[in-house]
Amino acid sequence: MSIKHYTDPELLEINTLENAIYMAMQNPSAYIDSETGTSDEQAFLIQMKNVTEQSGKKVFLVVHIRQMHHIEMLLGYENSRRLLAEVGHYLTALCGKFCVFRNAEDTFTILLDEGKEEHIKGQIKKRFEQDFHVSGNSISLNEVMITLHYPRDFCSLAEYRALYGYLLEAAQNSGKQIFFEVDEAVKKDYYRRNKVEQAVDRAITENRFEVYYQPVYSTEKNDFVTLEALSRLHHPELGWIAPDVFIQIAEKNHMIEQITDLQFKRVCMFINEHRDLMKKLFNIKVNLSSLDLMRSDCSSHFIRMMDDMDIHHDWIQFEITETVATEYNAGLGMVIDGFMAAGVRLCLDDFGSGYANLNTVMRLPFSAIKIDRTLLFDICNDKKRAMFYQSIVETFRRMGYSIVSEGVETEEEMSLLSSWGVDMIQGYYFSRPLPVDELLKLLNM
Ligand code: G
Ligand code: MN
């Protein structure tokens, strides 16, 4: 019997456990993950197919090791492989051959008959409370265990995948919680997220995102001098979907470029309908995501859109977040050169919110810097925080940047900031982001 290499799990002919075991006996390395001695992803797919075709209750226990790439940096590649092999051997010894599968670098799944899971979870927890030993190193591992019940929690491979992906993400974001179960709260959140994801998807096809504008006030001119365009999404059932929620979804599904395009077209149309506005405003600020900046044609793409709609290049200022600017690379350099050559200016967004790497940030030719609102926290009472904020303002002023303070909510903050020489103020103190009609009223247009 020859061993075929199947690439598409849907096409698998071998779909019983007996066959899989038979195949494994014919060729001991088939379906075995060579690094850990556990069964591999192919074997997992076969087993998943078996389980969903048979009746009977099963439990899928996912064991995820946190921060594997940090461990790899600490131990080196070879030793981190040995460590994973240790974990694989331990799990196989505990649960039996053909029951432990390796799904990813740092993730194993154990297939159990329902009822056995509490005992196994207890054993694994106990084992992970002790160190693992590799080449003379004692390593303490941080695990997460996710329990998924068949058929209670899922009925097909697709459902399993979606739920598993969701739980793994939740587990990674949560602090120290070891056990994850699909309880009512998780299900509710999961279904809401699915709904939101579908809503975002549909909103793109139907061009249903709106652009709101938050005016920015000049402390010198005592008037609004620029606007930030911000995307908003309203859903008939779900209400307002927060921008950080839909942006995260859109970035994950690679839809953010489409949103940026739709929004940018709207901003250009808005300027065209109200060209007098640009006598009063320096520019309108538009956010670019790191994915937008990764397109090699990014600058020419947006410049072409501006030219097609007769928008002067200095009417738009693109905002780039600090995290993107910090990940400076040659591709980003070319995009930025393209903008510079065309006279399109850039603004550094959210300074102070991420991992400030001033060196890299200084390499990019920004005209303006927005200081993140988290740095404003308590500046009216806390002398050290105030000194820190003031020194940032002074430094950037001396470097010739114009400075925008973000998230200003009170008069106290506002007067402190203008006494320090901040050029522009953005925040609820002056105005929330507004729909076009309200914005025009506020600007007396
Ligand atoms: O990351 P960026 O600076 O582009 O995000 C701007 C976001 O900050 C907008 O969604 C806007 O609604 C919000 N925002 C603007 N002004 C304020 C403010 O004064 N307080 C708070 N909490 N949020 C604000
Ligand atoms: Mn911004």
DSSP-assigned states of every residue in 4-18: P----GGG----SHH
The CA 125 to ligand 1 mean position distance, Å, reads: 42
Q: Is 377 in the pocket of ligand 1 (CB under 6 A)?
A: no
User: Which two structure tokens, joined as six digits, stand for 230?
Assistant: 């911000």
Confidence bin at 11 (pLDDT 50/70/90): very low
Atom 3 of ligand 1 has which residue's CA nearest to it? 350
Q: For residue 386, count other CB atoms closer than 10 A to its CB.
A: 16
Of ligand 1's listed atoms, the one at least distance from the Cα of 372 is 3
Q: Is 354 in the pocket of ligand 1 (CB under 6 A)?
A: no
pLDDT of residue 29: 75
Q: Is 39 in the pocket of ligand 1 (CB under 6 A)?
A: no
Share of residues in the chain with pLDDT > 70 (%): 92
Q: Is 428 in the pocket of ligand 1 (CB under 6 A)?
A: yes
Q: Is 231 in the pocket of ligand 1 (CB under 6 A)?
A: no
Tell which one of 213, 214, 284 to mutate to probe ligand 1, the residue whose CB is within 8 A of the most ligand atoms.
214
CB 415 within 8 A of CB 227: no
Is the confidence at residue 24, as pLDDT, over 70?
A: no
Return all residues near 228 (Cβ < 8 A) that are at least 6 apart: 213, 214, 216, 284, 285, 286, 287, 319, 426, 433
Of ligand 1's listed atoms, the one at least distance from the Cα of 353 is 1
Q: Is 215 in the pocket of ligand 1 (CB under 6 A)?
A: no
The CA 16 to ligand 1 mean position distance, Å, reads: 55
Give per-residue pLDDT as tens, 80-89. Answer: 999 999 999 9
Give per-residue pLDDT as tens, 209-256. Answer: 999 999 999 999 999 999 999 999 999 999 999 998 898 888 888 889
The CA 310 to ligand 1 mean position distance, Å, reads: 30
pLDDT of residue 25: 67
Give per-residue pLDDT as tens, 321-376. Answer: 877 767 767 888 899 999 999 999 999 998 988 655 676 678 889 999 999 999 99
Is the confidence at residue 377, as pLDDT, over 70?
A: yes
The CA 306 to ligand 2 mean position distance, Å, reads: 20
Q: Is 352 in the pocket of ligand 1 (CB under 6 A)?
A: no
Q: Is 409 in the pocket of ligand 1 (CB under 6 A)?
A: yes
Tell which one of 251, 349, 373 to mutate to probe ligand 1, the residue whose CB is within 8 A of the most ligand atoms.
373
Cα 92 from Cα 107, distance rounded (Å): 14
Cα 37 from Cα 90, distance rounded (Å): 10
Is the confidence at residue 274, as pLDDT, over 90?
A: yes
